Structure 1
């Protein structure tokens, strides 16, 4: 019995070690996104198609332009998104079965993640 348990744990460990690069990874690692886009026609990246990478790249570039063009307005958009998310979370707690509101919350959280990733990429001392 213990042998089977050890074998199962080893298999689970090996499976969990395989790292797939998804949208959130490329969003938070713009240099990796650029490298993947450069290699894209020749090599298929892990987890995402070249078309998906291009969509992420275009969105990051568009947001980067907005940040550089008007940083204050960009920051105001982030604050507004955070406020909308907080209101949606409060509303979801009172109404548990609202799938449309949960979808909207997820979209807003994804949008906020993009905005914050661009700020980290361009305004962080690390970049």
Structure 2
């Protein structure tokens, strides 16, 4: 069974009315929407490790996921990151046939500012990593 953790993250965040009201389903894995409309959320898997049984079968997987909350100003980016952190923190349940053992924030939130060129408005990012443990 192939487990798509990023599909879970997108779906779970989309079910939150407050988050969805802010980003209007602009939650993507790895790449941003080509329209570059903000606020938006992007998430990327940083690493994945697995625990195996004696026969080498994966019995548990652990991924580190970086979630970027993007907005046109720092206040919006931080507020969105807080909502995302509260939505994901401690989740325990089943999604699409696999068991999620919990999402734990890793390290502190980081902030970043990007302005590709002076004529373009810069983008603020509030970045939070999570460790997710799950069973296929």
Higher helix share: 1
TM-score normalised over the length of structure 1: 0.26
- TM, length-normalised to structure 2: 0.25
**Higher strand fraction: Structure 1 or Structure 2?**
2
